[in-house]
Structure 1
Amino acid sequence: MDKKRKRLIRIGAGAVAGLGAVALAWTGIAANADEPADAKGDFEAKVIGGEPAEEGQYPWLVALGYTGEGTPFERQFCGGSVITETVVITAAHCAEAVAGPDEVVVFSGSVDLESDDLVETAVADIHIAHDYNEPIDRANDWALLLLDEPVDVEPIDVGTEPEEFDALETAGWGETGSGSASVAEWVEVPFVSDDDCEAAYPDEIDAATMLCAGDLENGGVDSCQGDSGGPIMAPGEDGQILVGIVSWGYGCAEAGNPGVYAEVADFNSAIDDVLEDWS
């Protein structure tokens, strides 16, 4: 497989049986999961170069899972962030992996997908950005999930102004390449300027709707398959703020290939419009 390898959504055996693997394969190169694995998965469920998150560290962090049989860990395929008690933001390519709200659930309340404190919540509606993949592929990679009932977790504030940062944090249940684990991992990733991001991915970056983060020179830290839809965060006055959504990249944690994230500041007003329609 060449450097520009595809990244496909990881699903558990129960989800494959219920939904069909062909329908679930996303043909882009997003930082979601790899080819469907067995029920346990064939890789360690962590970000690259990270460490386990503590309970309460990211209360808004949630996992998206397919409905049906299997444990939450087996069914998890993407991440997300709670932005109101009834709304989760995730990646558009994650939302496109299901045919409708009846095929996805949200796991909240713990960073451990095997915890007794984990709460499974049904999804009532899905909104995928109307301009997803415009003006270029993977631009505006965001979607909102309306939950069937409120979740008792602290929402994250959504960034409203594009900024440059020294470093950012991302978290999720995605691949590291060895073993398996149910606890989300987090990692600090250096911010990459728009110019350097565009140089890394010529003709593939829409600077208005994307931002990059990662160690350009050395690699080693990144989000990866299974982390798609999850948050990338920056410090704010009253705690962390959501500045992006895990979207895509070439490989994972490779030097010269930073992770690419949907930049929420660009579509903040569009998010508000959907929230108003759902209120």
Structure 2
Amino acid sequence: MDSKRKRLAVRVGAGVAAGLGAVALAWTGVAAFAEEPETKGDFEAKIIGGEPAEEGQYPWLVALGYTGDGTPYERQFCGGTVITENVVLTAAHCLADLTSPDEFAVFSGSVDLESDDLVETAVADFHIAHDYNEPIDRANDWALVLLDEPVDVEPIDVGTEPEEFDVLETAGWGETGSGYPAVAQRIEVPFVSDDDCEAAYPDGIDAQTMLCAGDLENGGVDSCQGDSGGPIMAPTDEGLILVGIVSWGAGCAEPGSPGVYAEVADFNGAIDDVLEDWE
């Protein structure tokens, strides 16, 4: 593969350093619009330029992992965000290849996938946005996960109005370049305007359902494979609010190619409708 060629890919991946088959499964949903990397070594990085998250820093940050044998670290394939005591918001592309809630679980209570404090919770149901991939590929990249029982973590407040920000924060267990980290990484990323985002990805952005973040000029800070479904957050006077979901990008942390996130303010009403059905 030409190392200079940009790789367009959703940011699903797996913390499966032990080599479980989950990685291959996770990538099957990408084939329609992305080149599959030849090897893990082809990934450019992680939550790039970041640092380990501290315990309690993002209590709502959870990992999604396949059920079956292996530790949570080995089974993790996406991130998610607790928005009510028993509902997790994640990316549609994380769940698009799954057919039953029995196929995966949610890990909460720690940023360390090897921590004894980590709690595994079964999934009762999940809902993928009915208009996922409409009006263009990767639009409306959101899904909800109904947990079998409540989790003892603080949910995040969800942004309700589209806004422009200076700096956003994102976190997850994405590829580090030398393997997947057991401890979630976090990074601050500059907000990118809709105009600049559309210029970076001609005909690839639906500004209604997507937002961008990253250092357009220099690169070096970004989410990447394995961080899909996790949160991107904005600071407010009351604390962090959820404004987006890790979705896709061309490569990772490359100049001129910001990360793209599903913009939650656009589908708040649709989320509320699903929550009402689950009550």
Q: Is the structural similarity TM-score above 0.5?
A: yes
Corresponding position of 1:3 = 6
What aligned pairs does 1:146-161 form with structure 2 within 5 A after superposition?
A: 146-161=146-161
Q: Distance in 2 between matches of 1:30 and 1:186?
A: 28
Corresponding position of 1:105 = 105
Output the amino acid matched with 1:264.
Answer: V
- Any conservation in 2 of the 1:34–1:225 contact (CA below 8 Å)? no
Q: Distance in 1 between matches of 2:6 and 2:54?
A: 34
Partner SS for 1:25: helix
Corresponding position of 1:181 = 181
Partner SS for 2:232: strand
TM-score when scaled to structure 1?
0.91
Please report how far the alpha carbon of residue 236 of structure 1 lies from its aligned counterpart in structure 2 after TM superposition. Answer: 2.3
- Any conservation in 2 of the 1:232–1:246 contact (CA below 8 Å)? yes
- Any conservation in 2 of the 1:5–1:29 contact (CA below 8 Å)? no
Deviations 1:224-264 (A, max 9, x none): 00000000000123211000000000000000000000000
What aligned pairs does 1:115-126 form with structure 2 within 5 A after superposition?
A: 115-126=115-126
Please report how far the alpha carbon of residue 85 of structure 1 lies from its aligned counterpart in structure 2 after TM superposition. Answer: 0.5
Consecutive unaligned residues of structure 1, counting only runs of 5 or more, are none
Specify whether residues 76 and 42 from structure 1 end up closer, same or farther in structure 2 by C-alpha distance, changes over 3 A only: farther
Output the amino acid matched with 1:93.
Answer: H
Output the amino acid matched with 2:131.
Answer: D
Corresponding position of 2:137 = 137
Specify whether residues 15 and 145 from structure 1 end up closer, same or farther in structure 2 by C-alpha distance, changes over 3 A only: farther
Corresponding position of 1:75 = 75
Please report how far the alpha carbon of residue 20 of structure 1 lies from its aligned counterpart in structure 2 after TM superposition. Answer: 9.1
Output the amino acid matched with 2:273.
Answer: D
Q: Distance in 2 between matches of 1:20 and 1:256?
A: 28
CA RMSD in angstroms, aligned pairs only: 2.5
Identity of aligned residues (%): 78
- Any conservation in 1 of the 2:81–2:230 contact (CA below 8 Å)? yes
Q: Distance in 2 between matches of 1:238 and 1:55?
A: 20
Corresponding position of 2:24 = 21
- With 179-188 and 193-202 compared, the bigger mean Cα shift is at 179-188
Corresponding position of 2:190 = 190
Corresponding position of 1:53 = 53
- Any conservation in 2 of the 1:9–1:25 contact (CA below 8 Å)? no
Output the amino acid matched with 1:4.
Answer: R
Partner SS for 2:6: coil
Consecutive unaligned residues of structure 2, counting only runs of 5 or more, are none
- With 108-117 and 44-53 compared, the bigger mean Cα shift is at 44-53
Please report how far the alpha carbon of residue 97 of structure 1 lies from its aligned counterpart in structure 2 after TM superposition. Answer: 3.4
- Any conservation in 1 of the 2:101–2:126 contact (CA below 8 Å)? yes
- Any conservation in 2 of the 1:44–1:178 contact (CA below 8 Å)? no
Output the amino acid matched with 2:6.
Answer: K
Q: Distance in 1 between matches of 2:112 and 2:258?
A: 27
Q: Tell me the number of residue pairs that the alignment of Structure 1 and Structure 2 aligns.
A: 273
- Any conservation in 2 of the 1:9–1:35 contact (CA below 8 Å)? no
Q: Distance in 1 between matches of 2:102 and 2:44?
A: 28
Specify whether residues 240 and 52 from structure 1 end up closer, same or farther in structure 2 by C-alpha distance, changes over 3 A only: same
Deviations 1:89-114 (A, max 9, x none): 00000011322211010000000000
Deviations 1:139-193 (A, max 9, x none): 0000000000000000001100000000000000001212442000100000000
Q: Distance in 2 between matches of 1:262 and 1:55?
A: 26
- With 6-15 and 145-154 compared, the bigger mean Cα shift is at 6-15
Q: Distance in 1 between matches of 2:68 and 2:233?
A: 31
Q: Distance in 2 between matches of 1:34 and 1:76?
A: 19
Q: Distance in 2 between matches of 1:178 and 1:209?
A: 33
